[in-house]
Amino acid sequence: MVGQRFIQLLDDHPFFDLSLLFSSERKSGNQFREMVDWQLEGTCPDRISRMMLNDFDPELLKEHDIDVVFSALPGSLLRDMEKEAALDGGKVFSNSASHRYDRDVPIMIPEVNGEHLGLISSQDTFPAGFIVTNPNCSTSGLVMSLAPISQFGIKKVYISTYQALSGAGYPGPSSLSMLGNIVPFIRKEEEKISIESGKILGKISGNKVEEASIKIIPSCARVPVKDGHLLSINVELEKEITPQEAKDTFSSLRSLPGLPSAPAHPIVVLDEEDRPQPLKDVSTGSSVKGMSVSIGRIRTDGNVLSYFALVNNTIRGGAGNAILTAEMAHEMNFIGGGRG
């Protein structure tokens, strides 16, 4: 799913030109259109649909003079292809969990922790390349909403998720196990939310991140929705907050003007009493639709703030966020030569 989003979002991109595709061994050696069942709205760009799928070989990166590698690999593979690509000079922007917890690898949400990108300068394992990661998809929505309100002092966060089927990859769980059903378990998801949020909201200290000490208590469920993870979030703050203060604070998360995939408003607050909804709000965002997190149902009780947030799991929670990070790296001269 994320691989197809990359293809869709990189079509006609002003900084990056998609020139090589890797796939699993069973599909390689064939044209993309012969082997891949396009799952996204619209059609696959014609030029891409004719491209060949290749077995992963880092030598091909050199042969094609490729600098940037976008990865949407399962985290369970035995072969560490992202590391191989970075060792060969590739600037790797990854969606998999394989390197998220490495000390010198940042987990990026550009509007939230842009300064963490500098960590790649200390990735001594790679003479010219580097690895940068995206958070897990529900973590993206949670952390984007927590970042602006951290000024009120976050003590504890209770989060319940309603996660879309596309978050499980294609083909994902069978229709018979999901239609008319909710599954209150997603393997390793709750652990990922707790660990990754602390790292993203942490501060750089030397050449590592000092994690934020926020207690996060997640409960994750898979629901029969195609796209968009809905999150019910209750935050215990150090200070009291009113609904209007919360609304203004969410809306204050600043954009990154000049980066092609940056939405004008990273968070969009909805006033309607029954929003956000996956069907209506999953494509919120200017420039690239699906890059903004929608927030609604804001309520407060003293120092407890409650709200719902919706994140497009394959765009802000996946390919779109990785491309935005790469755009930032491009502007900071981490791409197109050394590591800055």
Ligand X SMILES: NC(=O)c1ccc[n+]([C@@H]2O[C@H](COP(=O)([O-])OP(=O)(O)OC[C@H]3O[C@@H](n4cnc5c(N)ncnc54)[C@H](OP(=O)(O)O)[C@@H]3O)[C@@H](O)[C@H]2O)c1
Going 132 to 137 to 143 to 144, the CA torsion angle's sign is positive
User: Would you count residue 278 as binding ligand X (CB under 6 A)?
Assistant: no
297 counts as binding ligand X under rule CB under 6 A: no
Bridge partner residues of 294 (DSSP): 268, 310
Show the tokens assigned to 99: 């390197």
3-class DSSP assignment, residue 69 = strand
Maximum separation of any 2 CA atoms in the chain, in Å? 61
The smaller minimum CB distance to ligand X, of residues 27 and 247, is found at 27
- Residues of this chain, 9-28, that bind ligand X according to CB under 6 A: 22-24, 27
**52 touching ligand X, by CB under 6 A:** no
DSSP H helical ranges for 179-289: 189-200, 243-251, 278-281
Residue 231 CB contacts under 8 Å (≥ 6 apart), including other chains: 138, 141, 142, 145, 159, 160, 161, 162, 308, 309, 310, 311
Among 8, 284, 314, 325, binds ligand X (CB under 6 A): 314
How far apart are CB 162 and ligand X at their closest, in Å?
14
**Residue span binding ligand X (CB under 6 A) among the ranges 181-189, 268-276, 283-291, 312-320:** 312-320
Q: Which is nearer to ligand X, 82 or 327 (CB)?
A: 82
Q: Is 293 in the site for ligand X (CB under 6 A)?
A: no
Is 137 an active-site residue? yes
Q: Does 159 bind ligand X (CB under 6 A)?
A: no
Residue 220 annotated in active site:
no
Q: Can you tell me the distance from the alpha carbon of 57 to that of 249, in angstroms, rounded to the nearest whole number?
A: 47
Binding site for ligand X (CB under 6 A): 1-3, 22-24, 27, 56, 72-75, 77, 95-96, 137, 166-167, 169-170, 313-314, 317-318
Catalytic positions are: 137, 229
